[in-house]
A = this chain, B = another copy of it.
Amino acid sequence: MTVIVEDSIKEASASSSSTARVVWRLIGQYGTIAMLGLLIVTMTALEPSVFATSDNLVNVLNQSAIPAMIALGLTFPLVTGDFDLSIGNTASLSGVVACTLMRDVDMSIWMAISAAIMVGLVIGLVNGVVVTVLNVNSLVATLGVGTMAIGVNYKIAGGQPVGLSDSESFLEISLGTLLGIPYPVYIMIGFTAVLWLLLNRTVLGQSMQAVGGNPVAARLSGVRVERVRLVSFVICGAFAALTGVLLASRTGSAAVSGGDGYLLSAFAAAFFGSAVLRDGQFHIIGTLVGVITVAIGFNAIALTGMATYWQYLFQGLLLVLGVGVGSLARRRTAAT
């Protein structure tokens, strides 16, 4: 293409600073991934016998699976330019619903899971309707709907954890392995692929990105902006619910606030991911890298036995530098 030709001409003309610029551009593009690489190299040097084993790799991926589901789902509203603060509460509620149905109504596992995911779809739908029809800012809307989800949760379980009497086959979802790799890892990889296709290879996904990039332009070129935003909330709700179910199957019970902790971690992963490879755009691979970076960080903490305050400083620094190095480099690239 002509563009590429033009580009390289410009590249060549600015010969003096070009090496510096190339380096900065590389850092800008791969800085965040380089941070992850640095972390892995450091850990391998520190704990060669434990960290750099295939067992531990599988362990880290297994731990990433649950936060990955919720963060991948969250990526969709973020892409269309909305926030969803209800995901933590949705995850909690769906876990409670699944466990309650299995315990009290003796529902089969798959029925219960489907019902729980229905709950997520409904919450997503409510979020979407409040945002697009009532025209409420997505932050308030999802905060409100999430609060209501807590209420429903209390109504169902009275605030008490819901345990399962016969949980073997339910636990199997988290514990079972195929070729030595736990099911959750397959689930994570499978859904990542599906969601990647959805966002990048379908008209719906393109419309979502268009809505996020410029809703007016999207509307003028015939995208049904409201519908697209609604769908993104529904997807997000469904994946939050899936997270709740997986969490319940990992812990063997569901608590009223079991999934709440995933709210901030999902945002952290998605925003971290938005600095991976691209500049401030949310995308599936980025979010996954974000989740895995956080999981590796957590794994490193456990293996090295840092003091608690170091754990927090380390996690905070990881976020700031992981994103900052790339951003700074990109700004430098633009400046030179």
Query: Which residues of A does B touch, CB under 8 Å?
Result: 85, 130, 133-137, 139-141, 143-155, 159, 264, 267-268, 271-272, 274-275, 280, 308-320, 323-324, 327-328, 330-331
Contacts and interface: CB of A to CB of B under 8 A. Distances in A.
Contact of A145 (B141, B151, B316): B316
Closest 8 CB pairs of A and B: A151-B312, A148-B316, A144-B319, A147-B316, A134-B324, A144-B320, A151-B313, A154-B309
A27 to B, nearest CB: 13
Given A134-B328, A141-B324, A144-B319, 10 more contacts: A135-B327, A135-B331, A140-B272, A140-B275, A140-B320, A145-B320, A146-B316, A147-B312, A150-B312, A151-B308
A318 to B, nearest CB: 8
Interface residue SS majority, chain A: helix
A139 B267 contact: yes
Nearest to A329: B135
27 contacts: A135-B327, A135-B328, A135-B330, A135-B331, A136-B327, A137-B271, A137-B274, A139-B267, A140-B271, A140-B320, A140-B323, A141-B319, A141-B320, A141-B324, A143-B268, A143-B319, A144-B315, A144-B319, A146-B316, A147-B319, A148-B320, A151-B311, A151-B312, A152-B313, A153-B309, A154-B312, A155-B309
A232 B56 CA distance: 44
Contacts of A267: 139, 143
Nearest to A155: B309
Contacts of A264: 85, 143
Nearest to A86: B316
